């Protein structure tokens, strides 16, 4: 198992939770818009950090790392959505 992908997954969960809560705080009436914007934020942040490591030359550049972070973000967002509705 690649530990780097596990770390990206766990960080993705926290970014998804934070994004969902913060964006929901600004526009609480439109949950669909909050979910879409939060998912886009998670994807952009994950891939942006990966591009930053490629341009900077530090760390390893792998396309699957942002995918693991995005999946983690979706899990975090789903947890917040479930908590909002129940």
Residue 9 lies in a domain: no
Q: Helix 64-85 to helix 3-26 angle, to the nearest 10 degrees?
A: 40
**Total structural domains in the chain?**
1
Tally Cβ neighbours within 10 Å of residue 3.
7
6 in a structural domain = no
What is the percent of the chain where pLDDT is above 70? Answer: 99
Residue 3 domain-assigned (yes or no): no
pLDDT at 84 over 80: yes
d(CA 39, CA 19): 8
Q: How distant, in Å, are the alpha carbons of 34, 37, 57, 62, 73 from that of 26?
A: 9, 12, 36, 34, 19
Read off the pLDDT of each residue in 46-57 and give the average, rounded to a whole number: 88
Share above pLDDT 90 across residues of the chain, in percent, rounded to a whole number = 69
Q: Is residue 50 part of a domain?
A: yes
Whether the pLDDT of residue 21 is over 90: the answer is: yes
Confidence (pLDDT) at 8: 92
pLDDT at 1 over 70: no
Question: Does a structural domain hold residue 65?
Answer: yes
pTM, two decimals, is: 0.88
Q: Which domain holds residue 59?
A: 27-85
Q: Mapping DSSP to helix (H, G, I), strand (E, B) and coil, where does residue 1 land? A: coil
């Amino acid at each position: 198992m690649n530990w780097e992908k596990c770390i990206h997954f766990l960080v993705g969960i926290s970014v998804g939770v934070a994004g969902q809560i913060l964006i929901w705080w600004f526009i609480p009436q439109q949950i669909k818009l909050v979910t879409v914007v939060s998912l886009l934020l998670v994807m952009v942040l994950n891939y942006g950090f990966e591009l930053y490591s490629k341009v900077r030359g530090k760390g390893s550049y792998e396309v699957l790392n942002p995918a693991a972070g995005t999946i983690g973000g979706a899990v975090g967002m789903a947890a917040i959505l479930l908590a909002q509705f129940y």
